[in-house]
Amino acid sequence: MQQTVLSKVLVLENDPDCLDHLKQFCDTTGLIGVRVNPGHVVKVLSSTLDLGAILLAENYAGTRTETRVLARYIRHSRPELPIFLRLDNPAEGDTADDLTTFASGIYTREDISPLKQSLDRYLFSLLYPDSLVNGIMELSMNALSQQFTDLDVSCCQPSLVRDRIIFGEVFTLIPLESSWFKGYMLLQTGEAGIMQRVQAGDPSGGPGRIDFRRVNNVLSEVTNLIWGAFKNRYIPADDPGTRSPVQVPIVINHAHQYVSFGSDHPHLCFEYTLKNRIGEAVVCFQQWFVFNLNWSPERFREIPEAMADLVESGELELF
């Protein structure tokens, strides 16, 4: 199985030759490089832009000392993100308070191979079968289309994200477990978009008083639709589960829009946009799959689509 899921990385580099080299590197290693004006770095880091890692050049902020200040800020504001540092002379980075103490990996202009090793360790540590990624995207888009019948649903390229930043104001969380995985699905969205749909008389909102509970109901219904399709497609009725009582605490900090599942692995992220007939984005959803307690993709098995439809309709039962 090959890794086809991409990941966004923030490229903090100002050397033209290195930028060309990194662009080629990103194109061949499943990375989406995102550049930022040096004067806007703090603003970007304080936003909800979800990232997998940061590529930082030694003198990006002007001097090595100034770049060390920036690296310290990155470590404080986005501690989940690994910093991969490009040094001009690695032999100089040997003091305890040096810039290199903030780096999860170091590479040079002459030898970029350590960067690939660091990515494999910190970002591409889990592999996802293509058919699973495509299947999740398909069944999730179908569920959203069922709930929002007059909107067009699209999905960005699935990505790996190390950030733990919550998207929107409301989310649902549902456990996932089979003999080869154990974790959670998180579905997140903003309240305003769905509330506007309900206020406009969207049938999916249902009758009654319009308040935040109606938004909750819509999100719960979508989650149930996705969960039902996922279960029918990837969890046979005779699957014994993990048979493991192990659990880890889930930490949610609303003040900092932060959620942690007790695992250092990046999570699989999908972003869905629902547009009206004139192409305006009306509702956006972000979906995470976090396999924090068990992940054995070599044991992946998919129930054939035709059989899954019969199981879902109740015409067929697996035993």
Closest by CA position to 284, among listed 206, 194, 161: 194
Average pLDDT, the chain: 86
Q: What is the pLDDT of residues 271-311, one digit of tens each?
A: 999 998 899 998 999 999 999 888 998 888 887 654 445 45
Q: What is the pLDDT of residues 84-142, one digit of tens each?
A: 999 987 765 555 458 899 999 999 988 999 999 999 999 988 889 988 999 999 999 99
Could you tell me if residue 318 is inside a domain?
A: no
Query: C-alpha angle with apex 54: 48 to 59, nearest 5 degrees?
Result: 125
Whether the per-residue pLDDT at 211 is higher than 80: the answer is: no
Closest by CA position to 70, among listed 95, 62, 17: 62
Could you tell me if residue 255 is inside a domain?
A: yes
**What are residue 11's phi and psi, to 5 degrees?**
-100, 105
Same domain, 157 and 203: yes
* pLDDT level of residue 312 (50, 70, 90 thresholds): low
Closest by CA position to 78, among listed 48, 55, 108: 48
Could you tell me if residue 2 is inside a domain?
A: no
CATH number at residue 24: 3.40.50.2300
Could you tell me if residue 297 is inside a domain?
A: yes
For the chain, first and last CA: distance in Å?
Answer: 29
Per DSSP, the three-state class of 270 is strand
Same domain, 50 and 162: no
Same domain, 147 and 206: yes
Percentage of the chain modeled with pLDDT above 70: 88
CATH number at residue 167: 3.40.1550.10
Whether the per-residue pLDDT at 212 is higher than 50: the answer is: yes
Residue 51 confidence (pLDDT): 92
Neighbours of 7 (CB within 10 A): 25
The domain boundary residue, chosen from 92, 122, 152: 122
C-alpha span between 25 and 6 (Å, rounded): 13
Residue 206 confidence (pLDDT): 52
Q: Average of pLDDT values for 182-186?
A: 94
CB 60 within 8 A of CB 70: yes
Q: Round the CA-based radius of gyration of the chain to a whole number and report it.
A: 22
Q: What is the pLDDT of residues 36-78, one digit of tens each?
A: 888 889 999 888 888 999 999 999 999 899 999 999 999 998 9
Q: Average of pLDDT values for 190-215?
A: 70
The domain boundary residue, chosen from 70, 93, 122: 122
Predicted TM-score (pTM) of this structure: 0.82
* pLDDT level of residue 319 (50, 70, 90 thresholds): very low
- Residue 101's alpha-carbon distances to 11, 64, 76, 120, 312, in angstroms, are 19, 13, 13, 20, 53
- Residue 160's alpha-carbon distances to 35, 203, 218, 306, in angstroms, are 18, 35, 27, 30
Q: Average of pLDDT values for 6-32?
A: 92
Percentage of the chain modeled with pLDDT above 90: 50
Whether the per-residue pLDDT at 3 is higher than 50: the answer is: no
> What is the tally of structural domains in the chain?
2
Residue 298 confidence (pLDDT): 87
Could you tell me if residue 243 is inside a domain?
A: yes
Closest by CA position to 88, among listed 69, 110, 103: 110
Q: Which residue has the tokens 């959670």?
A: 184
The domain boundary residue, chosen from 66, 95, 122: 122
Same domain, 157 and 233: yes
Could you tell me if residue 94 is inside a domain?
A: yes
Could you tell me if residue 319 is inside a domain?
A: no
Q: What is the pLDDT of residues 22-40, one digit of tens each?
A: 999 999 888 999 998 888 8
Could you tell me if residue 270 is inside a domain?
A: yes
Q: What is the pLDDT of residues 145-159, one digit of tens each?
A: 999 988 999 999 899
Residue 84 confidence (pLDDT): 96
Residue 265 confidence (pLDDT): 87
Whether the per-residue pLDDT at 316 is higher than 80: the answer is: no
- Report CA 145 to chain centroid distance, whole Å: 22
Same domain, 66 and 139: no
CB 61 within 8 A of CB 70: yes
Whether the per-residue pLDDT at 244 is higher than 70: the answer is: yes
Domain that holds residue 106: 7-122
Q: Which residues of 286-307 are buried (b: 16+ CB within 10 A; e: fewer)?
A: bbbbbbbbbbeeeeeeebeeee
